[in-house]
Structure 1
Amino acid sequence: MPNNASALQLVLSGDPALFAIVLLALVVSLSAVLLAALIGVPLGALIALTSFRGRDGVIVLLNTMMGLPPVVVGLIVYLALSRSGPLGAWGLLFTPQAMVIAQTILVAPIIAALSRQTIEDLWLEYRDELMAMNVRWLGRVGTLVWDARFSLITALLAGFGRAAAEVGAVIIVGGNIEGYTRTMTTAIALETSKGDLALAIGLGIVLMAIVLMVNALAWAVRRAAERLAG
């Protein structure tokens, strides 16, 4: 009970250490989702609107990558960014940028797979009309992406939820350095092991609130889409 009271006090009093961790986690996750969207939406559209040999295999691979093990991604990024790795000269290991890279790799397949399915369904529905009007490829993509905007926003929110809850990859490539690369999930794991349950519970409360808001926003987006469609 005292830990719970102390945790609420940390949250309600605006504890600087707690909210510095929250701010870093949000910046890293939002940056990763933005980069993943820039990669995933065009890739999903390309696969949805293009016929090529091995397309089914690419779709299966993309769907499989939605469940990439975070620790494996963290290990791969660690090896790439380590001093002896191919990108070691960039000096990004144990920085927020390394955490953004790892989260982008985890989130991009989710956004790409969901975008591909959404855009492909719309393409099957509107293909005859778009082809009859001689709409070029970029015009088709723009039309379908705009029509699927609510579903795509939901995909982005799903990606953000995955990124915000990530711990395995970011702790490997970020190092959980206090005041620099410590995020909500890594701090919860560390503070729990240290026995500082007040801070761990406080961060857990904030993380759950963020997840709740993301899910509420996704629900609101779906409801808005249903009303427009109706």
Structure 2
Amino acid sequence: MDGPFAIAFSLIASGDPAMMQIIGLSLRVTLTAVVIACVIGLPLGAVLALARFPGRGAVVVLSNALMGLPPVVAGLVVYLMLSRSGPLGSLSLLFTPGAMIIAQTLLILPIVISLTRSVLEDLWAEYHEQLRSLGASRLRAVPTLLWDGRVSLLTGVLAGFGRASAEVGAVLVVGGNIADHTRTMTTAITLETNRGNLGLAVALGIVLLTLTLMLNAAAWGAGQWARGRLG
């Protein structure tokens, strides 16, 4: 009898349709959540970094605290919002990929906001005199600061992607782990391990680890390239 690793490599080499469907859904959900979190989080992080308003300190503390939000709690919040008795129940998103995207966005958003705030605060402190001498206000300086801090911000985005792609609790609560509909790599690994179907579980684990390594290698390469350009 073939061992789990032999079965896993066979599934990967053959491009098993069931496995590919799970991988495709996982990537689609996580990448969509990352994009939404960046669209919302980068501007909010910039506002926290450069604007001064009452209660700013409390917002900063809250965003930092939410970086450690337990995934199952995020899933519970989204579940309550999308359930039939919840305020968004009429959208019928519960146990759909849309609900999983919302849950993962909720997990990634605090990471993007907090990192953006930290990076832009440091850059503004370093370059504000030069930027002001060029006539750039705090608001007009945001695009320049975002571009200058792009490598650090990319690291944060990848951290968000890693957290979302490796997450089980939230997507299980709001997605239900439904075959061919809401089954992701992490929930499938959990299910197939419990079933004793270790070949598929190992195959999905290898793919997930490979994707993580590739993304981190890309981020490292981008950092090296940026430092080479600056040097």
Cα drift, residue 229 of structure 1:
2.5
Q: What do the CA deviations read for 1:169-224 (whole angstroms, capped 9, x no partner)?
A: 00100000000000000000011111111111111111111111121112112212
Q: How does 1:68-147 map to 2 (within 5 A)?
A: 68-147=69-148
Give 2:221's aligned amino acid: A
Corresponding position of 2:199: 198
Task: Establish whether residue 28 from structure 1 lines up as the match of residue 29 from structure 2.
Answer: yes
Give secondary structure in 1 for the equivalent of 2:95.
Answer: coil
Cα drift, residue 61 of structure 1:
1.4
Aligned-residue CA RMSD in angstroms? 1.1
Corresponding position of 1:222: 223
Give 2:126's aligned amino acid: E
Can you give the 5+ residue segments of structure 2 that lack an aligned partner in the other structure? Answer: none
Task: Establish whether residue 58 from structure 1 lines up as the match of residue 59 from structure 2.
Answer: yes
The 8 Å contact of residues 154 and 221 in structure 1, kept in 2 or not, is answered as no
Give 2:89's aligned amino acid: G
Q: What do the CA deviations read for 1:137-181 (whole angstroms, capped 9, x no partner)?
A: 432111111111222222211111111111110010000000000
TM-score, structure 1 normalization: 0.97
The 8 Å contact of residues 29 and 163 in structure 1, kept in 2 or not, is answered as yes
The number of residues matched between the two structures is 230
Can you give the 5+ residue segments of structure 1 that lack an aligned partner in the other structure? Answer: none
Instruction: State the identity %.
Output: 57
Q: How does 1:4-43 map to 2 (within 5 A)?
A: 4-43=5-44
Give 2:165's aligned amino acid: A
The 8 Å contact of residues 154 and 222 in structure 1, kept in 2 or not, is answered as no
Corresponding position of 2:166: 165
How far apart, CA to CA, are the structure 1 residues paired with 2:186 and 2:65?
Answer: 25
How far apart, CA to CA, are the structure 2 residues paired with 1:15 and 1:59?
Answer: 46
How far apart, CA to CA, are the structure 2 residues paired with 1:154 and 1:139?
Answer: 24
Cα drift, residue 18 of structure 1:
0.4
TM-score, structure 2 normalization: 0.96
Corresponding position of 1:155: 156
